[in-house]
Amino acid sequence: MRYRVLGGTGIEVSTYCLGTMMFGAIGNRDHEDCERIIHSALDRGINFVDTADMYSSGEAEEIVGKALRDPRRRDDTVLATKVYFPVGGEGPNRGGTSRRWIMQAVENSLRRLGTDRIDLYQVHRPDERTDIEETLDVLGDLVTQGKIRAFGCSTFPAERIVEAHAVAERRGLRRFRTEQPPYSLLARGIETSVLPVAQRYGMGVLTWSPLASGFLTGKYRKGRPMDLGSGRPTINPQRFDPELPVTAAKLDAVEEFTALAEEIGCTLPELAIAFAAAHPAVTSVILGPRTQEQLDGLLKGASLVLSDEILDRIDAIVPPGTDVYRADGAWQPRSLTDPTARRRPAGERAAAD
């Protein structure tokens, strides 16, 4: 296993990070099995574990906490979690990145994780309701209090990252040290701005969904029946509808990548995670197995290094900066999701006419 420094923090993390989204109610419900998977990853050189308070409504954090209850394991593990999505009930203030919610959410995460500190605390999505200065201020306070060691953002567009750094510099606040974006052979959009911006600010980058929500596992192939009864399709089956043009585009690219992987003597998942780790801006690639078998398969490619020739051939299939699809779960601004944000009121439009 190789190790890299995380965004100028001095903290060394493994090139591959164990993601835990599939632990708990939406994936592997067997807590003891999930603990064994975590221990297996740690025993094989992974020292970086990423979770979030909203994964299975806190259950994933509880599983991670049980797996790291041995103080020696906890001390040797760089532990990351996230805040933003509502957890633990309904209400107008149970989510977001306000001081009020973050102060409550971090205590809940610490309790579920069974620890007194979080090594990397991440803002899970941009919050259009909260001034970024407010968010940076409270996160800095948590560093001072020793409850978190560093903080970062997740799935922020480049302009939001630049804004956050500008505010931090202007107000003398601590800044985001990391960004966690989606990145895969099928979703390369972040190469245009997000990764260059992260490099410019010396941020660590831990990427998620290297298998493109399952399309790069080799399980889904063009012209073959789709199993929608297990894995990611059970969460959002419409994303796997073969009649949709975007699904067809994914499957066409998968055929080409599968042929390339076979030619160089590796599996499609091994090619996928090696690709994500090859970019100079990427610090660590998050692997999100549901089973031990899946983890074993992914780690077989941990030592795979892609040559310039292979990377050039990948570029010919999906050009740099191109998204075959918009990564599942990626943040979209209100200006796109809310029609009222881009349309004048009907009365004003009629008056203008």
CA 290 to mean position of chain CA atoms: 16
Q: What percent of the chain has pLDDT over 90?
A: 80
- Is 290 a residue whose pLDDT tops 60? yes
- Supply the pLDDT for residue 233: 65
183 labelled catalytic: no
- Long-range pairs for 315-323: beta carbons < 8 A, 24 or more residues apart: 317/185, 317/253, 317/256, 317/257, 317/260, 318/185, 318/186, 318/188, 318/253, 319/188, 320/188, 320/191, 321/188, 321/189, 321/191, 321/192, 322/188, 322/189, 323/186, 323/187, 323/188, 323/189
What CATH number did the domain enclosing 23 receive? 3.20.20.100
The secondary structure element, H or E, covering residue 330 is none
Strongest mean pLDDT among 171-185, 210-224, 231-245, 335-349 = 171-185
For residues 201 and 212, give the distance between their C-alpha atoms in angstroms, rounded to a whole number. 27
Mean pLDDT computed over every residue of the chain: 93
* Catalytic hit among 16, 55, 121, 325: 55
Q: Which domain holds residue 97?
A: 3-352
What is the total count of domains within the chain? 1
Q: Look at 84-88, 170-174, 240-244 and tell me which has the smallest mean pLDDT.
A: 240-244
pTM of the predicted model as reported, rounded to 2 decimal places: 0.94
163-178 pLDDT, tens digit each? 999 999 999 999 999 9
Q: Look at 103-107, 205-209, 280-284, 348-352 and tell me which has the smallest mean pLDDT.
A: 348-352
β-bridge partners, 13:
4
